[in-house]
Structure 1
Amino acid sequence: MNATFAGNLWSGLASNRLYQVLLVLGGTILLAVSAKVQVPFWPVPMTMQTFVVLMIGATLGARLAGATMLAYLVEGAAGLPVFAGGVGFGYIAGPTGGYLIGFVLGATLVGWLADRGFGRSILTTLLAFLAGEIAIFVLGTGWLATLIGLDKALRGGLVPFLPGEAIKVALACAVLPIAWRLVRR
């Protein structure tokens, strides 16, 4: 049995390079779509991206999740309209930049945990996703604090997001272990 969800779902293809490239590209498409599902906030919008970022980590494992996030950043830096509210390297350097970089760390961390069996039960899914959320929000809020100050960063870039993030983590805790049970059948 493969360690990752995607590896188990399509076990015969797991080591195929074309399959891996398609997973990465598919992940960047899902991430771009999730960026457009948003509630306007200042200084950064609330989107479904963190859910997709962490699910990519949980299903693809560290290596492919990290590659997906890096590919996403390259696409956006190159000018493709994949981000929530802008394009180019300037957007990455703006208020959302820390969160975008946090996506790389968060997805890779959740993927690393998934490679070690996390995500197959409610408890391990919760632990993995909390670790990923912390990575994203520490980098995101930290970067935002350098631009607008710590107090404003916490009030605008962390606190309003906590209820939504709790719902996303609860959804993952409900969905991922069930998906694993279905794959094992």
Structure 2
Amino acid sequence: MQFTQTRPEAYGLTARIGLTLAAAALIALGAKVQVPFWPVPMTLQTLAVLVIAAGLGPRMGLAAMGAYMAAGLAGLPVFAGSPERGLGLAYLAGPTTGFLIGMALAMVVTGWLAARGGMAARAVAMLAGTVAIYVPGLIWLSAFVPADRLLAVGVAPFLLGDLFKIAVGTLALQLLSRRG
């Protein structure tokens, strides 16, 4: 059986809201499972974002990211390193905001590309989504880290883990498609 994304129209409003909130909760849970790095922690949040985008599509993925960001802006401790690194707008003044913006962008990029094909397309979509996370993340991080250290601090420590997350996410979606 070929995996296909969940189409939002296939569900009623209540189910779409429930899926969106569950996906936002999964993003928050992923943010809390982390390996400490400075200034940006490595978390399972990107895995959650990529799988949600590839599984639910760009619209529901973006809605989930929006719900997650709204919870964080409201002061709930959903962001990685919160409440220690601050809550709400205070947290968003820190070095990770660009990566959060990139995650919203990744929902669109990954969701759109993943709908185009099978397992290989999902892997490529997740790779493109990862790039979509890094670009605004590094732009924002450049305000906190000297330019000559930017790639060493904002990319290099995370590359192997991100490639592993892409493999895990792709395989997880493949397994789900066989069960569905």
TM-score (norm 2): 0.90
Tell me the secondary structure at the aligned position of residue 21 of structure 1. helix
Higher helix share: 1
Give a deviation string over 1:96-121, Cα, whole Å, max 9, x none. Answer: 0000111100012111123x334x32
Within the candidate set 16, 39, 64, 2:35 is matched to 39
TM-score (norm 1): 0.87
Give a deviation string over 1:17-48, Cα, whole Å, max 9, x none. Answer: 11111111001111111111101100111100
- Paired with 1:70 and 1:167, the residues of 2 have a C-alpha distance of 26
Q: Which amino acid aligns with 1:161?
A: F
Q: 1:68 deviation in Å?
A: 0.7
Query: Which stretch of the first structure deviates more once superposed, 85-94 or 123-132?
Result: 85-94
Within the candidate set 48, 65, 68, 2:64 is matched to 68
Conserved 8 A contact 1:145-1:152: no
- Paired with 1:151 and 1:141, the residues of 2 have a C-alpha distance of 12
Conserved 8 A contact 1:105-1:136: yes
The alignment of Structure 1 onto Structure 2 pairs a total of residues equal to 176
Query: Which stretch of the first structure deviates more once superposed, 168-177 or 130-139?
Result: 168-177
Within the candidate set 150, 153, 159, 2:150 is matched to 153
- Paired with 2:46 and 2:61, the residues of 1 have a C-alpha distance of 13
Q: How does 1:13-162 map to 2 (within 5 A)?
A: 14-86=10-82, 87-114=87-114, 116-118=115-117, 120-121=118-119, 123-162=120-159
- Paired with 2:39 and 2:149, the residues of 1 have a C-alpha distance of 9
Tell me the secondary structure at the aligned position of residue 75 of structure 2. coil
- Paired with 1:95 and 1:164, the residues of 2 have a C-alpha distance of 20
Within the candidate set 149, 162, 166, 1:165 is matched to 162
- The alignment status of 1:180 with 2:180, answered yes or no, reads no
- Looking at both structures, which has the greater relative contact order when contacts are Cα pairs under 8 Å and sequence separation is at least 6? 2
Conserved 8 A contact 1:38-1:47: yes
